[in-house]
Amino acid sequence: MSIFGRMGTLFKANINDVISKAEDPEKILNQLIVDMKEQLISAKKQVAVAIADEKRLKKQYDAEARKAAEWEKKAMLAVRAGRDDLAKEALSRKQEHGELSAEYQKQWQGQKAAADKLRGSLRQLNSKIEEASRKKNLLIARKKRAEAQQTIQQTMSGLNDTSAFDTFGRMAEKIEQMEAEAEASAELAEGFSGDDLASKFEDLEADHGADEALAALKAKMGVSSAAREKETEFSFEEEEVKQEEQVKAGGRGTWDSEDF
C-alpha cells in the first residue's frame, strides 16, 4: 500500500472514530424508529396499490363471468325460438367472455396471493417496529441508568480524593503551631517583665492554702501538732532506755564468763 493509501485509511479511521464518539445512543435509536415508521408508511402504500389491483382484477373477472353467463342464457333463448344461427353467435360471444373471465381469474388469483403475502409482511414489519420501540425504551432506560452510575462513580472518585482533606489538616496543624508560638511568646514576655512580685505573692498564697488544707485534715482526724510532738519525744526517750538496758545486760554477761 502506498503512503497516500495509508494516509487515506488513517483519515477514514479518524473520521469513523470521531463519528462513533459523537453518536448518542438515544438519538440514534429514536431516529431508527422514525426510519422504520417511514418504511412502514411506504410499505402500506405499496400494499394498498397491490390490494387495489387485486380488487380491480376481481371486478373484471366477475364482469366477464357475468357476461359469459348472460350470452349462454341468450343462446338458450335462441334455441327455444328455433333460431340456431342466433344461438351459435351467442355461444361464440359466451366463449369469448368466458376466456377473458378465465384470464382475469388467473391474474386475480395471482394478485390476491401477492397481496396476501404483502399483508403478512406488513403485519410482521409493524410487529417488528413495535418490538423495536419497546426495546428502544428499554435500551434508553439502561443508558440513563449507566449514565447515573457513571455520575455516581465520578462523584465517589471525587470524594476519595483526599488532597483537599490533607490540605485542610496541614492548615489546622499550622494554625496550632502559630497558637503555640503565640503562647510561648506571651510567657517569655511575662518572664522578662522585671517585676515578679505578683508571682511571688501567688506562690505564697498557694503555700498558705496547702498549710490550711493540712491543718483542716488534722483537725478532722483529731490530731493536734502538740500531741504529735509529745508522741515523738516519748518515742525517743523510750528508745534510749531500751538501749541502756541492753548495754548493762551485755556487761554482766562478759563479767560472768571471766569469773568462770
Backbone angles phi, psi at 194, to 5 degrees: 85, -5
Identity of the amino acid at 64: E
Sequence-distant (≥ 6) Cβ neighbours of residue 257 within 8 angstroms: none
Q: pLDDT band at residue 19, thresholds of 50, 70 and 90? A: very low
Q: Where are the domains of the chain?
A: 3-160, 200-260
At residue 64, the pLDDT reads 92
Check pLDDT > 50 for residue 253: no
What are the grid coordinates assigned to 74, written together?
341468450
Give dist(CA 190, CA 203) in Å, integer.
16
- Please state the rounded mean pLDDT for residues 4-26: 55
3-state secondary structure (DSSP) of residue 81: coil
At residue 89, the pLDDT reads 92
- Please state the rounded mean pLDDT for residues 84-90: 90
At residue 225, the pLDDT reads 53
Check pLDDT > 90 for residue 71: yes
Q: pLDDT band at residue 211, thresholds of 50, 70 and 90? A: confident
% of the chain surpassing 90 pLDDT: 20
Q: From residue 8, give the alpha-carbon distance in Å to each of 11, 14, 146, 156, 248.
A: 5, 10, 36, 43, 132
Q: Which of 251, 224, 36, 259 is nearest to 129 (CA)?
A: 36
Q: pLDDT band at residue 76, thresholds of 50, 70 and 90? A: very high
Give dist(CA 44, CA 38) in Å, integer.
10
Check pLDDT > 50 for residue 128: yes
At residue 201, the pLDDT reads 61
Give dist(CA 155, CA 159) in Å, integer.
6
Sequence-distant (≥ 6) Cβ neighbours of residue 90 within 8 angstroms: 71, 72, 74, 75, 78
Q: Which of 64, 50, 150, 49 is nearest to 101 (CA)?
A: 64
Q: pLDDT band at residue 242, thresholds of 50, 70 and 90? A: low
Place of cell 333460431: 83
Identity of the amino acid at 253: G
**Which of 56-60, 108-112, 249-253 shows the lowest per-residue confidence on average (mean pLDDT)?**
249-253
Q: Which of 64, 50, 121 is nearest to 95 (CA)?
A: 64
pTM of the model: 0.45
What is the helix (H) or strand (E) element at residue 148, kind and residue range? helix 84-160
Higher pLDDT, 151 or 252: 151
Check pLDDT > 60 for residue 10: no
What are the grid coordinates assigned to 210, written together?
496547702
What are the grid coordinates assigned to 8, written together?
487515506
Q: Which of 55, 51, 31 is nearest to 43 (CA)?
A: 51
pLDDT mean across residues, the chain: 76
